[in-house]
Amino acid sequence: MIRKLYDWTMRLATHRHALRSLAGVSFAESSFFPIPPDVMLIPMVLADRRRAFLIATVCTAASALGGLFGYLIGHALYEAVAEPLLRAYGYTEAFREFERAYKEWGVLIVAGGALTPFPYKITTIFSGMVGMSIPAFFIASVLARGLRFYAVAALLYWFGEPIRGYIERNLGLLTVIFFVLLVGGFAAVKLLF
């Protein structure tokens, strides 16, 4: 099934309405769809490198809006599904403790989910479950998703087809390294100030 979705998404990248399709895939991937928008972003940028940053902008905006939808799903699921289960198993207080930690470090968790291969939809849904600040969630989503999509678009814009294979093979590693550097930067700023 995943392979069929992947192939369908790749075909969308060459369609005349590819930009709208990219927006739809980016939105859906942030809340429930299993295929990342990079599958469309990469061939679309390679097909027309002059539009690289427009494509990255559409991808970022739709992904951040889809993240808000994922947040709403998490918020609704918490009351309907998670809260009764937590009560039934006696984990309400343990979840409250985890929720406090998530709210303290949530911006970094959202950034990590937005940048790395970790499914971003899990981060968006969980952020809604714990009631993370919506403005903080949205800003972290826009910045981190934008960083990810603009970095891919910029590499493809500057280096073209030769960089495609490298990005596709190492996207996970590259984003994890970048996230570690990002967290290190936040930690350094916190220590200095």
pLDDT by residue, tens only, the chain of 193 residues: 556 766 676 677 777 888 999 999 999 999 888 778 888 898 888 888 899 999 999 999 999 999 999 999 989 988 887 788 778 878 788 778 878 878 788 888 888 778 766 778 888 888 998 889 999 999 999 999 999 999 999 988 998 877 767 766 776 676 666 556 655 655 555 555 4
Do 111 and 143 meet the contact criterion of CB atoms below 8 Å apart? yes
d(CA 48, CA 29): 23
Q: Which domain holds residue 118?
A: 2-192
Number of independent structural domains in the chain: 1
d(CA 60, CA 142): 7
pTM, two decimals, is 0.74
